[in-house]
Structure 1
Amino acid sequence: MQERYREAILVNTDRSREYKYLDVAFCVWRKVAKIGWLDLVRPRLRMLDIGSGGGDLSAVCSGLGHEVLGMDRPDPPLFRELHDLYGVKRVDHIVYPKSPFPDEVGEYDLITCLGVVFDIFSKTEDAVTTWTTEDWLHFLRALSARHVRFPGRIYVELNRRVEPDGSSAYDDLLRACQSMGARVDAARGRIMFSLTRPLALAEEAAH
């Protein structure tokens, strides 16, 4: 695959983000180094990897004996080829705010979203427009209500962008998730919900 895409890699530098996944050893090693929060040394889990990209996280978890389904947009074709290479199933789906997944996606013990970019509406040199905190909370609640098999977990690792004043577009989301019972590592943008029932907003849980 590296040889087949060699010319495109050298010529089309705008797609270098896509082709980085062809460095399979490095990408898999990075995911092995990042999965400490996932507690995968347990009986076989049914797992959904949203925004699975080149499939490296799915491959690592599958290699540990878990049943994994990757999910990402239908393009680029390279991502599907890499899932096939790893022997990991995937489903085509574009994630939009407040738009449900197909019912056939099913329920899972663990749902992961690592380094996702589906929450970005637009990106220029000067500004990035992302989902609102409300959009994210709706997404997380919908996942817990329709796609978590209890007891189950949802793990999110955000691409944090720190502003000059030290703030981040995700600060409100991280605080909201922590108030709802999530384990949060704000410095790394990590959110882990361990759930025994569908997720409720903090004000709902208080009643």
Structure 2
Amino acid sequence: MIGKINSFHSFSTSDGPGIRAVLFMQGCPLRCKCCHNPETWEYDKGIEMSVEEVVEKIKKGITYYKNGGITCSGGEAIMQAPFVTDLFKACHKLGLHTTLDTSGCLLNEDVKALLKETDLVLLDIKMTSEDKYDAFSKGSLKKTLNFLDCLEEMHCKTWIRHVVIPTINDTQEETLQLKKLLQKYTCIEKVDFLPYRSLCDSKYDELGIEYPYKHIQDATDKDIERINKWYDQ
């Protein structure tokens, strides 16, 4: 099985439990306004790698990954669901934990087969209404919530990720709306509020793409503390 890969990162501690290898898949149908990886958007620009080649890279650090595992991110990993499924099966044979980092923008039989090999899903919920979701990412909140419904039905362990962007979604109203959307799901183990960071400006310049959030300040630790308090109240 051959996949289109953007990059492979070793020894991550922020993409699931423990120390992890992170595979960034190439190709994404969304166009999020503050995407940190715009170089992953176009599928054809990736590097072709086989499952066996990726496994060999993972094996080089497997002593460290035994307390963590492998995370597939992107781009959008579920756009290459059969490849990721085969990779996760191979990683399970090595005793490694598997994590899928996704926006949940697609749900079909290939994706459901992938979820059966996934130990943890990091689900990115970008905005809390259909209009804002579409304006921000050219995607659909409804599709993401349908994906979350599937995670609930399949009893998939899930961590929600929500990027806090000052002046865009950092209000109490937005925070409580997110809580309302998520309150019925028992598969959710935790909700992580991540601070917006404008670290990707140079990537957009290199790609000749206008970065729409140049005027927005980075979120601070105090912003995240405030959001967490609103969510927990």
Q: When the two structures are superposed, what TM-score results if normalisation uses the length of structure 2? A: 0.34
Higher RCO (C-alpha 8 Å, min separation 6): 2
